Structure 1
Amino acid sequence: MDERQPRSGQPPELRFQDGLIPAVVQDVETGQVLMLAYMNEESLRRTLAERRTWFWSRSRQALWPKGETSGNVQQVVSVTLDCDGDALLVKVRQQGTGACHEGDFSCFHYPVELPAPAPVPPSASSGEGSRERPGAEEDEPREAGGDLDGAEILAELWQVIGERKQHPAPESYTSRLFEQGVARIAQKVGEEAVETAIEAVRGNPGGVAYEAADLIYHLLVLLATSGISPRQVFAELRSRRR
């Protein structure tokens, strides 16, 4: 997630499952996640050789170069293997109107309405949840009872982020993000979105929740540095229900 732990040893070998490996495609300029597709060994070889994306169609059981008929070619900038060797991150320069066959720039354009999160018992802080998170040491809201609902958690986190923006603290991760500027914050949003998508592809609900929490946190920081409040986002979502 962050560059907190040094790399050790050799990179992992590619791990194809049933001959395929998921590839998350990300726009290199904006950090926006464009699509999720699958590659086999041949499509990956062509992607690396031609520096444009090739995928394997599971429905047609055939290779296909992205943009073959639409002209929405993806020029490959980099291909990165994840730490387990079972997923790829492909950064591209998207040409044409976008990645989605429905006409949107990104295939991820259908918001999912989330239910209010259930209270997390104190014991849930052990295990995987104990690893360091951005800002966890001083930037996240605290509630002794652990019974804040979703709206209260967002409101309190937004308040903390606003305080760090107005009154920077040297030890604050949030303050350091503001100092690094909007480009770095936007990059972090893109990275966390990709990691959330990867956990979903792996079928790891706990990982999705963990990475989604980081994504929401960084998105709120991006809103704050852009002068946008969550109320404006909620108003936009509300207008789309009419």
Structure 2
Amino acid sequence: MNIDFSRLAHGLIPAIIQDSETKNVLMLGYMNKESYKKTVETGKVTFFSRSKQRLWTKGEESGNFLNVVSIKNDCDEDTLLIQAKPVGPTCHTGADTCWQEPNKANYGFISDLEATIQSRIENADSEKSYVASLFAKGINKVAQKVGEEAVEVVIEAKDNNDELFLSESADLLFHYLMLLQAKGFKLNDVIDVLKSRQK
């Protein structure tokens, strides 16, 4: 990748650092030609510190390095997106990110749904909440419901009604997320197992 640092303000290019696994944005820093070159050579994110006016490898004092996975330049060739694997927290305050947010995986709507299920379990009236009422019947009932939904998915898979197949698939996923929580787990725990099997 060729970066024309001469056309950038003060010869610096902003570098957005993103966790390569969680996809969370960890921090923003600036690189000059020398810090970019050192980043590529060492595989550890190195910035140009505007306050100290020198190269600064993230983690050089704390040991919380950012190990480079990939570097991309944007369409205007004036901003870098660096995906990295963080070693420890990224922010100097000790937080995971410079926005004081935990660096945990988020699966968008699925994570929101898990949070809703947890909230219904903890706070809802079992007479008004389907989730709470099913949980009140115990784990055997939750597991039984997952089994029933799985059978319905198989039946619909053999038919040609895509709408019913997708509807039953949604029911299965919903109840599986409930079963995971009944066992004290979240979807991310299953994903960790799948990652461990990856070759």
1:184-195 matches, within 5 Å, as: 186=107
| Alignment match, 2:79 | 87
Q: CA shift at 1:65, angstroms?
A: 0.8
1:53 to 29, 42, 45: 45
1:138-217 matches, within 5 Å, as: 186=107
1:24 to 13, 16, 28: 16
Query: Identity over the aligned pairs, expressed in percent?
Result: 42
Give CA-to-partner distance per residue, 1:12-33, whole Å, 9 cap, x none.
Answer: 8545221100000011111111
Cα distance between partner residues in 2 of 1:13 and 1:37:
16
1:102 to 93, 103, 108: 93
| Alignment match, 1:228 | 115
| Alignment match, 2:30 | 38
CA RMSD between the two structures: 2.6
Query: 1:42 aligns to what SS in structure 2?
Result: helix
2:68 to 66, 72, 76: 76
Q: CA shift at 1:223, angstroms?
A: 3.5
Q: How many residues align?
A: 114
Give CA-to-partner distance per residue, 1:4-57, whole Å, 9 cap, x none.
Answer: xxxxxxx88545221100000011111111110000000001101111110011
Structure 2: gaps spanning 5 or more residues: 120-199
Change (3 A) 1:43 1:13: closer
Q: Which amino acid aligns with 1:93?
A: K
Change (3 A) 1:73 1:12: closer
TM-score, structure 1 as length reference? 0.43
Cα distance between partner residues in 2 of 1:24 and 1:104:
17
1:110-121 matches, within 5 Å, as: none
| Alignment match, 2:149 | none
Cα distance between partner residues in 1 of 2:74 and 2:110:
25
Cα distance between partner residues in 1 of 2:73 and 2:37:
14
TM-score, structure 2 as length reference? 0.51
Give CA-to-partner distance per residue, 1:124-166, whole Å, 9 cap, x none.
Answer: xxxxxxxxxxxxxxxxxxxxxxxxxxxxxxxxxxxxxxxxxxx
8 A contact 1:12–1:84 mirrored in 2: no
Cα distance between partner residues in 2 of 1:24 and 1:90:
6
Decide which structure has greater helix share. 2
| Alignment match, 2:197 | none
Greater relative contact order (Cα < 8 A, sep 6+): 1
